[in-house]
Every structure is written in structure tokens, then in C-alpha cells.
Amino acid sequence: MVEIKTGGNVEFAKGLGGVIACKSSIGYIDGAKGKLIYRGIPIEELAEKSTYEETAYFLIFGKLPKAGELDAFKERLVACRSVPAAVIEILKKLPRETHPMAAMRVGISALGCMDPEGDNMSIEGTTEAGIKIISRSATIAAAIARLRKGEEPVEPRPGLTHAANFLYMLLGKMPDDKMARIMDISLILHADHGMNASTFTAMVIASTMSDMYSAVSGGIAALKGTIHGGANERVVNMLMEIGTPDKAVEYVKNAIAKKQKIMGFGHRVYKAYDPRARILARISEDITRGEKTHKIHEVAKVLEKEVIAVYGKKGILPNVDFYSGCVYNALGIETRMFTALFAVSRTAGWVARILEYLPEGKMFRPRALYEGPEAMKYIPLGER
């Protein structure tokens, strides 16, 4: 195979936009209608009725589990929660100001180095590694959050659900049922979202027969980007900068005049309202009512109204990042940790899609359009 060179009318998609790279039965987005489904079930139904553990099982194994299967899966996740002390020691040696996603990348890589079966790329071996990562990514993220504040990591509690235990380790106190359920729903909403940049990155790495830890580390690296997973952090910073609802109208006018991007609006796929944003908007309204975080939600509502009035007909509407930050802020989670929470959830989708594609045995290998010269002569250093 040779690279394509210029000289003719060659059509190509910049950034592989819209290019179909594989087949999948895991998730589907209908951007025109604002629909998201996991294996045929609408995200709204899963958010209402499912749990993160059940959703992860569903994504990975392709069926809703029976009671015994779900119990066994939960038990396996609980058994994997504790991470080697050496991993925590590595995280402690990182500068406190290290970006949480960079620390997550280090933590998952360290886990891979300490897993004697980590290089086993059989379906069984990769599935086992994936389950460990789904469980332990929450422990690592929570440890990072604690260390950033100069506090010791909190050991996981086996009697809690995945979401409740995650909040417990993050905040150092038992969450109430409402808080735990909100975290559960948030994890479900972020578990998978088509062939996005981080999912594709993870799949490309796995397609080389590297290992699951390397693949997920790559996914984390891609998700760290401010126009991918890091957008929710920027949304909350924007809302805090605006400060009060009465200043939101002027902010929108100034942003439009200066042609500045307003964070949390628009999506590469959705041209209708992001269904995840609808769910999180309701949660944000509920959880912030009567709390000091309510002001941020009120700013968000005014901002949404103003932006939709100008750009709504063009399909520029709130995306999942717009209200997820409001929800996390209301739960008492540090803004810099928002993208790490996203990563904890998305491990299920990364693992599921890697396992689905692995039997193909086909390494991703796109081509490039070469625009450089073809007959340059080498000039010796002394003659340049």
C-alpha cells in the first residue's frame, strides 16, 4: 500500500470526519433526532431504570444480565476495587498541580505494569483486564482528588454500589441515596457515545495487539483534550465568570460580537437537543434548588435561552457538557476533576468496543494525502 499523493481530484475527510471505520452493535446516535441508544435501548430508559453496573455489563456482554449474572458481575467489580499500594505511591510523587487526567493516565499505566496478566490479549484476558480497569479507575480518580487537596486516599467500601463507593472515596463521607443515584445516572449517560475521538484512540491502540491498559491510557489522553472531555470543566468556569443571571445576556452578546465560542453548545453529531443534556438539566434544576450552587444553574438557564434564540435554528443547542458541570459542582466535586469523572464512566464503553472489534484482527491503518515535493536533493550540511 502506498500513500496517496496530490495531482488529481482526490476526495478525503479531514480528521476522518464521517468515515466509517468498523461495524458495531454497541451504541447508536441519531444526531438529527437527538437520540442515543445503547444496544437498542434509549438512554432515557437506562437512566431511569438501570444502574451503572448493569449498563456496563449490557455494553460489554451484549445482553441485559439475569439477577445471578448481575450479582456475579457486581461482586467481581467490588473484588477489584483496591489498587496496589505502589500505584498510590506513584500518584503521591506527582506534583499536586498535575492535571487529574494526566494523573489518571499515569495511574492506569502503572496498574498495567503491575498486572502479570496485563499483556494477555485473548478475549478472556482482555475482558478480565477491562473489568479491573472499570472498577479501579474509580479508585484511582478518587485518590487523585484526595491527593490534590493534601488528603489521604479513602479505601473503598465493599457494601456500596459502584456510584456510591465512588462518591464516598471522592468526598470522604457517605453519600445519601439521592446523591448516589445522581452519580449513577451520570455514569450511565457518559458510558458510551459512538466512535468519538477517545474511543477511536483506544480502539486503534488495541488493534495493534498492544494491551487493554495501554488502550485505555490512550483513551484517557484523548479525552483530556479541552474540545473533547475537558469541555465540561470549561463550562463551569464560564458560568462562574459570568457570575449572575442578569449578566448572562450581555455575555452572549459580547461573545457573538467577538465570534467567540460559547462552551457547552453544539456537537459534531447532534443537530437536535442532546438527550443526555435534557436529563442532566432536570437533575441540575432539582439538585441545586435551595443550595448555594443554584446561582450557577440559573446562569446556565438564561445563557441557554439566549444562545438558542440566536443559534437554535442552526442546530447549535446544549450538549452533555453544559449541565454535567452544574451537577458535579452541586455534588461538591472540584471542577478540575470533572473530566476524570467522565473517564471513569467511559471505561465501560472503551472496554466494550475494544472487545467487540478485537476478533476482527485488523489493525487500523488510514492513509494520508501527500502534498510535499518528490525530487528534492540532499544538500550537505556545510553547503546549506
Task: List residues with catalytic annotation.
Answer: 228, 267, 321
Residue 354 sits at φ, ψ, to 5 deg, of -65, -45
Which residues, 6 or more positions from 73, have their beta carbon under 8 angstroms from its beta carbon? 53, 56, 57, 65, 131
Rounded to 5 degrees, what are φ and ψ at 29?
-115, 125
The C-alpha cell 441519531 sits at 30
* DSSP per-residue letters across 321-351: HHHHHHHHHHTT--GGGHHHHHHHHHHHHHH
Which residues have CB under 8 Å from 319's CB, separation 6+? 231, 264, 265, 266, 267, 270, 274, 276, 277
Q: From CA 129, how far away is CA 115, in angstroms rounded?
A: 9
DSSP 8-state class, residue 382: G
Q: Which three cell numbers stand for residue 89?
A: 505511591
Which residue in 162, 145, 135, 157 sits closest to 81, CA to CA? 135
Residue 191's H or E segment, with its range, is none
46: Cβ–Cβ under 8 A, 6 or more apart, which residues? 38, 55, 188
From 349, 347, 275, select the one nearest 26 (Cα to Cα): 349
Which H or E element spans position 139? helix 123-148
CA 202/CA 213 separation, integer angstroms: 9
Backbone angles phi, psi at 326, to 5 degrees: -60, -40
**Among 355, 367, 266, 370, which Cα is nearest to 308's?**
266
Tell me the C-alpha distance between 302 and 304, whole Å. 5
Please check whether residue 280 is in contact with residue 186, taking contact to mean a CB–CB distance below 8 angstroms.
yes
